[in-house]
Amino acid sequence: MDGINCSIARALGEVGERWSLLIIREAVMGSTRFDQFHERLGIARNILTDRLATLVSHGVLDRIASPVNARIHHYTLTRKGHELLPVLAALMHWGDRWIHAEIGAPVVLVNRKTTKPIAQMALRGESGQPLDSSDIDITAGPGATPRMRQRLKC
């Protein structure tokens, strides 16, 4: 496949696994310690150990020894990790709309300053105007392989 040439495929290689994205969600919600992730996600310890190590190796999480007890580590989001929040927000809004529509959103992301819900995650044009998926074309970028250019006919 065009995996190596696709930002989606490579992004999924780093974080595209159910537990990884839920661990990042937990980190956004304030969890930092192994036991917090373990308890709040109900994830097996060996899987959690593996996923945390993977996220640290990809630079999504930092692992820092506690200043109080060097045997305890805190996992915090790096800049790269924080910038996954639009992905989580888009997934959350989609789930709110298509899965939780009847009972209402469990959690709402709000603008801290105004306490109003953030705008729905949407495709937007260069001036910020919302676009539908039918308004979008897919074109080859500077990093496109010949195969991808051929496929996109450009």
- Min dist CB 110 to its own copies, Å, is 5
Nearer to its own copies, 69 or 134 (CB): 134
18 vs 71 by CB, closer to its own copies = 18
- With both helix axes pointing from N to C terminus, report the angle between 18-28 and 34-41 in degrees, rounded to the nearest 10: 120
For residue 31, the one-letter residue type is S
Least distance in Å: CB of 71 to its own copies? Answer: 26
Which uninterrupted H or E stretch holds 82? helix 79-82
In whole angstroms, the minimum distance from the beta carbon of 63 to its own copies comes to 18
Question: Smaller CB distance to its own copies: residue 65 or 154?
Answer: 154
User: Tokens 């195969």 sit at which residue?
Assistant: 147
Which among 88, 74, 72, 22 has a CA at the least distance from the CA of 51? 22
* The pair of three-digit structure tokens given for residue 143, joined into one six-digit string: 């990093």
Smaller CB separation from its own copies, 71 or 143: 143
Q: How far is the CB of 50 from its own copies (least distance, A)?
A: 16
